[in-house]
Amino acid sequence: MRHAPTRTQTIVALATLLATITMPSRARAAEALVEGFTVEEYATGLGSPTCLAFAPDGRLFVGDRNGTIHIVQQGLIRPTPFATIAVHDFFESGLLNIVVSPTFESDQFVYVFASVSPEEQNIIRYRVENNRGVERTVIRDNLPSNGAFHNGGGMAFGPDGKLYFSIGDNGVRDNAQSLTTLAGKISRINPDGSTPADNPFTTPTGGPRATFASGFRNVFRFCFDERGRLFATDVGSDGAQRREEINLVTRGGNYGWPFVEGFGDNATSADGMTDPLFAYAEEGSSPTAILSYAGNHFPEAYRGNLFMVEYARNDIFCLPLNGDRIQAQERFVSADGGAVDMTQGPDGALYYCELVGGRVMRIRFGDDTSQLIPIGGIDFSEEDNGGDDDDDDMTPDEITPSDTCATGLPFFFMLMTLTLLSVTRRRSITFRA
């Protein structure tokens, strides 16, 4: 008689197979699929980068899953890290996001979202001084985590100057509908971490809650467009009902999870819940980045359209918009190395990072690069080693990754696929016991 494998045996088997399946093939280079566009290396030699954020002056902050934040200038990594945070990086945990203050030129603030223990995530603010993070301040602590899955990690400033962030349901479906937890929600706070008085939900005593919208499974990324609209991806579940979503999020909205996934019908709709703007299944299974193009480097027809990274497919899609309607899901770039986050540079080009490949790549249009951030030509020999960040003197041994997470393996999103998405839909793989 054959016995079904245990959960642990299944995880080990899937992780082992995924480690070989999802490693990027160096024979398949990143390639633009639309005439006139080029994909090129911008920076190499990073570890497992999970997030990107540009300062207005062209410095690029790159967060590594292990807690290290680098500054990249003209494609070169500064030799001294901007900051090092002790993180819990088991499965979908770690350093998950970094954003630059909308008033950076006056306040020099950078905000980081990180899993700091198996039970807690923090939003941490630094001030930039001599390319180092100083005046470390935890502006929001005790954000929920289950130590492994559905931790979210989205973070962005809205046009109202408020800081928005997302946390997944922590693997507990009912969290998405409960106002007693920030899990399964997109939240809104002031830049100092306090809760705005005009947020849509209140506590039993009448105080404001941080929750801005609810009913999400695992929003890893979201973005605002030039009109102030908030677009959020939501990673789908498993099986025939699975749908990856792009939601147009509004104040106080409820986006259905776990009652509705994708578009509701008479059998599945629930009162007061909002359908996604767009939902898909066959085109991928792991949306990990989304942005609204607002630059002038691409042809004018692209301005205002959405771009989305599909990690499981290693593809970047262009999503043309007509009002509030997504017209199509068009493959734009065939990526490589585990594309996981994407941002627009101050030069109008798009930049994305590879979790596995350890590179930052640039998508540009045309042959004229004179207006783009140059690559090379900086001398870091007089690097300033000053700064008073609390973690500056930490050695790698003092960083606290999980003992059970193999060093260097891209478990962060391979196991996102394993548990959030299931292997059966990622590469049509089945397992027989």
C-alpha dihedral sign at 70, 136, 394, 409: negative
CB 353 within 8 A of CB 339: yes
Break the chain into its structural domains and give their ranges: 7-426
Distance CA 224, CA 249 (A): 10
Tens digits of residue pLDDT in 328-348: 999 999 999 999 999 999 999
So what's the pLDDT on residue 354? 97
pLDDT per residue rounded down to tens, the chain (433 residues): 334 444 433 443 444 334 333 344 333 589 999 999 999 999 999 999 999 999 999 999 999 999 999 999 999 999 999 999 999 999 999 999 999 999 999 999 999 999 999 999 999 999 999 999 999 999 999 999 999 999 999 999 999 999 999 999 999 999 999 999 999 999 999 999 999 999 999 999 999 999 999 999 999 999 999 999 999 999 999 888 899 999 999 999 999 999 999 997 755 556 789 999 999 998 999 999 999 999 999 999 999 999 999 999 999 999 999 999 999 999 999 999 999 999 999 999 999 999 999 999 999 999 999 999 999 989 897 665 544 444 443 333 333 333 333 323 333 444 444 433 333 333 322 222 2
Cis (ω within 30 of 0) for the bond into 56? no
Best CA proximity match to 52, nearest among 60, 43, 44: 60
Best CA proximity match to 52, nearest among 320, 291, 375: 291
Distance CA 195, CA 209 (A): 7
So what's the pLDDT on residue 266? 56
Best CA proximity match to 170, nearest among 227, 95, 91, 111: 91
**How large a percentage of the chain has pLDDT more than 70?**
80
7-426 CATH pick, 2.120.10.30, 1.10.10.60, 3.40.30.10, 1.10.760.10: 2.120.10.30
So what's the pLDDT on residue 198? 98
β-pair partners for 284: none
Could you count the other beta carbons within 10 Å of the beta carbon of residue 4? 8
CB 69 within 8 A of CB 60: no
Residue bearing tokens 């030699």 = 45
CA 311, chain centre distance (Å): 11
SS3 226: coil
Distance CA 213, CA 187 (A): 7
CB 109 within 8 A of CB 125: yes
Distance CA 187, CA 195 (A): 9
Residue bearing tokens 């004018």 = 300
So what's the pLDDT on residue 419? 36
Distance CA 10, CA 117 (A): 25
